[in-house]
Chains A and B, each alone.
Chain A
Amino acid sequence: MDRPIRVLVAKPGLDGHDRGAKVIARSLRDAGMEVIYTGLRQTPEQIVAAAIQEDVDVVAMSILSGAHNHLFPKVVNLLKEEGVDDMLILGGGVIPEDDIPFLIESGIEAVFTPGTSTKDVVDFVTNNLKR
């Protein structure tokens, strides 16, 4: 691809820790991507508005607080309502294995839990873009 891949890295919900999100952001940067980082405590509405204005290829969200089953699908649905269907949506953070099938079914294309190598994330993004 002769243009940089643009990725929104966002922290939905109320947890106040973003070291993991920053590590992922840095890895994507080192892989040549433009990473728009929106910071802590974002609402799904804010994430969707930023994703649209920044015209990103990928929305990557990280949650540690346990609210993933609620917040991740909400972002997927809001994007759908806005008519956006060409963004790759990813989740990550402290997420129990048992919850992953539901998230995938809701439209999150992949879920990365602690211990995932950053290379795997970069490879997944590179190989699964929708445009």
Chain B
Amino acid sequence: MNLEEQLLKGSKRACARLITMIENNDKEAIDILKKLFYKSGNAYVIGITGPPGSGKSTLTDKLTKELRKAGKKVGIVAIDPTSPFSGGAILGDRIRMSDLALDKDIFIRSMGTRGSLGGMSKSTWGAVKVLDIFGCDYIFIETVGVGQSEVDIVKTADTVLMVMVPNLGDDIQAIKAGIMEIADVFAINKSDLDGADKTKVEIEMNLDLNEKTDYRQPVIKVSAGQNKDIDVLLEKILDHKKYLEENNKLEEVRIRNNKLEVLKMVEEELMKLILDRAIEGDLIDNLAKKVTLRETDPYTAKDDIIQLITKGE
């Protein structure tokens, strides 16, 4: 099958196969993306992040159904953690999206993190491009359940939706740095639980302390399980989109994201280069041993490794 042609014709199999190839660093797939890149940039990318068990998948399912009512084509990339021991993974987010599978205008793909930190997989960028070229109007990226500092999602998405649940901690959590700072829209899911109002007040108070700008992050109580106020949440997400578009900020966001993407790729390639050389002759292992025995120090060891690259053979 000619993947490029098939993708442009809207074949789900071609779309799926290309994503697999990107995940496996296949050169042919990357060449196809290079060639078709000019066709991307039309999809609006929404990142969904939040702690494990906060209901990100169920919320994604419900938001997608709302968008389908408006006739939009939707892609979903759902990320779950890869085992650091076996390299295997259980990707279970589809369970919450079962009845979306048959819709011809929805494409759901599960991904393991495969060693990436930050709540995303390094192939997520590639998968989003494939889905964009495939013709999706909206693409959701559902991160792995995150802790306090996995903020990579912000570097990929146009709008970041932060899903919270009531009673996750005391009121100091809302003012900590990290994940709470990256959201464009807050959803307090499972809002039928006690404490939802308190959580909302804490987030609102935290937002009050931000510098005044012409965009204020909305905090919406929803219940994905009961399909309650999902339409309100989607409206707020689309309000953020409109805000970015009307104030010429969408381009700003995308330039920032693209810069980070390119830098991330460079970083990865450099790391690989360095590791490939440092592994030769067990250099890295020997250095680590010397550091442990106090024969050298980590700073000098670092300089030794950097020299490998900057020698410029």
Contact = CB atoms under 8 A, between A and B. Distances in A.
Contacts of A28: 88
Interface stretch (B105-113, B172-180, B252-260): B105-113
Interface residues of B, number: 30
A45 B102 contact: yes
A36 interface: yes
B90 A25 contact: yes
A30 B98 CA distance: 25
A30 B88 contact: yes
Contacts of B16: 52-55
A53 B98 contact: no
Kindly state the interface size class of chain A when it binds its partner: 20 to 34
A25 B88 CA distance: 10
Contacts of A6: 20
Given A50-B101, A53-B107, A38 B94 contact: yes
Given A34-B112, A35-B90, A55-B19, A29 B83 contact: yes
Given A42-B98, A83-B13, A84-B13, A37 B90 contact: yes
Nearest to A33: B88
Given A29-B89, A34-B91, A39-B95, 18 more contacts: A2-B24, A4-B87, A4-B112, A26-B90, A29-B86, A29-B88, A34-B82, A34-B112, A35-B91, A36-B91, A37-B90, A37-B95, A38-B95, A38-B98, A52-B12, A53-B108, A54-B16, A84-B13
22 contacts: A2-B24, A4-B87, A4-B89, A4-B112, A26-B90, A28-B88, A31-B88, A32-B88, A33-B88, A34-B91, A35-B88, A35-B90, A36-B94, A36-B110, A37-B90, A37-B91, A39-B95, A45-B102, A52-B13, A52-B16, A53-B15, A53-B16
Interface of B: 12-13, 15-17, 19-20, 23-24, 82-83, 86-92, 94-95, 98-99, 101-102, 107-110, 112, 114
Interface of A: 2-4, 6, 25-26, 28-39, 42, 45-46, 49-50, 52-55, 82-84
